[in-house]
Amino acid sequence: MSDSRVLPANFGPLREADANARLTGPCGDTMEFWLRIENERVVQATFTTDGCDHSLVCGAVAARLAGGKLVRDAAAIVKADVLDAVGNLPEEFHHCALLAVDALKAALSSFCTTRCTDATASDCQARRAKPQAAGRKPSQEELDQEQQELDSRMALIRHKIIVLSGKGGVGKSTVAVNLAVSLMLAGKRVGLLDVDIHGPSVPRMLGLEGVPVHAEDGKMLPVSLGGLRVMSIGFLLREQDDAVIWRGPMKMGVIKQFLKDVLWGELDYLVVDAPPGTGDEPLSVCQLIPNADGAVVVATPQEVVLAAVRRSITFCRQLHMPILGVIENMSGFACPHCGNITEVFRRGGGEQMANEMGVPFLGGIPIDPAIGVACDTGEPYVSAHAASGAAEAFRRIVHPLLELSGPRETAETG
């Protein structure tokens, strides 16, 4: 299929599939499933679709529900199971869930026709007619194996830095992108992971919109931009305006796979851009990378923002995540003509709050109209405007990050 995409939940197609089927739904969307089956158990499920983002989500959910199940149990998955796992799927797109289930069952049927014993095939047919609750809990052995794979992947990355903010609209993603590029310009091998599932902006800021994601041996390859390796849910959307409607468990599963199943390789730094607040995504990252070097918290000078930033610092402390420091973004306006700084907002609030909370203050970044232009045009600001005052501010902020020592050990491993 010319428009097939690699999904974070199930990479494919499989090189060696035991079952395969392709169906077209009533709206014209096509979905194709590949299954690897061992001992009559679905050990891997993957799919492609040329449909809308709702088809994308429903296909990912159906594949995830089927993974690890016996063939007869996977055949019992019904549309309601997919809708329940997705959550809040508009009724006019329920046909996407039906297409996903039908394509999955068609693939299972092709396996039963060619590989199952007569008794097993009959059992599969009976189970299809009698819906059961989907969602087998993984065994402890499977969870331990997943954790081992995650730890092995993260062990190749020397430093992990999480960029947080307590409130939206403070320029957190802009800061994360320019921090990552500044580290790269300092000669470091850097990865940038965008875990803002509902509002990914990193691809646009780096001029990478529409760039396809490729797979190698069942693992995703990050998108490369010079020496920077990038991954975002934004690469996996059919259209940039598509909405991702996922509940917490789905989001944590995708973030885990971004960490575990992306071939990051050996890196000096992995910068993780988390969405604002203290919800599912930052919590998942902190739990999945317990030995991260720490968090960089982005604020602006206004007190209404600083109150939310204080909560982010408390959040990190409760999760035993070190605070590398606070950055005050929009710290005055740098005149592009004379270079003088005008206090559009009250300056110094971020530094004062950091002192009160007992955490380092990394510095302030002034407002520069060129920053917004650079974000919209997809050209990293610190490289396009290296001589500017704001770019110099980023270089000063990055300096203590470049002086980080070896990887932090957790209480369990240290």
- Write the DSSP assignment of 301-328 as a string of letters: SSHHHHHHHHHHHHHHHHTT--EEEEEE
Where are the strands (E) in 234-390, listed by range?
267-273, 294-299, 323-334, 341-342, 361-367
For residues 73 and 409, give the distance between their C-alpha atoms in angstroms, rounded to a whole number.
41
Q: Is 0.75 surpassed by the pTM of this model?
A: no
Domains and CATH numbers, the chain: 19-136 (3.90.1010.10), 145-402 (3.40.50.300)
Tokens (6 digits) for 193: 């992971």
Average pLDDT of the residues in 339-347: 65
SS (H, E, C) 146-170: HHHHHHHHHCCEEEEEEEECCCCCC
Residue 92: pLDDT band with limits 50, 70, 90:
confident
- Stretch 106-128: mean pLDDT, rounded? 56
Task: Tell me the range of 230-234, 281-285, 394-398 where mean pLDDT is highest.
Answer: 394-398
At 120, is the pLDDT very low, low, confident or very high (cuts 50, 70, 90)?
A: very low
- Strand residues in 136-280 grouped as ranges (E): 157-164, 190-194, 215-216, 219-220, 223-225, 228-232, 267-273
Interatomic CA distance for residues 69 and 56, integer angstroms: 21
Question: Which of 49-53, 81-85, 105-109, 171-175 has the weakest average pLDDT?
Answer: 49-53
**First-last CA distance in the chain:** 49
Q: In this structure, what token pair is assigned to residue 17? A: 């599939």
How much is the average pLDDT of 314-333? 90
pLDDT tens by residue, 384-396: 999 888 999 999 9
Query: Residue 27: its pLDDT value, please?
Result: 74
User: CB atoms < 10 A from the CB of 23, how many?
Assistant: 17
How far CA 339 is from CA of 329, 367, 369, 386, in Å, comes to 17, 11, 12, 15
* Tokens encoding 26: 């009533």
Query: To 10 degrees, what angle do helices 369-377 and 172-185 make?
Result: 80
Using only the alpha carbons of the chain, give its radius of gyration: 23
Percentage of residues in the chain with pLDDT exceeding 70? 80
**What pLDDT score was predicted for residue 223?**
93
Residue 373's alpha-carbon distances to 105, 205, 226, 381, 385, in angstroms, are 49, 10, 21, 9, 11
User: Per-residue pLDDT tens for 345-385?
Assistant: 666 778 889 999 999 999 999 888 889 999 999 999 999 99
Average pLDDT over residues 281-303: 89
Residue 392 tokens, joined = 């110099």
Distance CA 27, CA 17 (A): 27
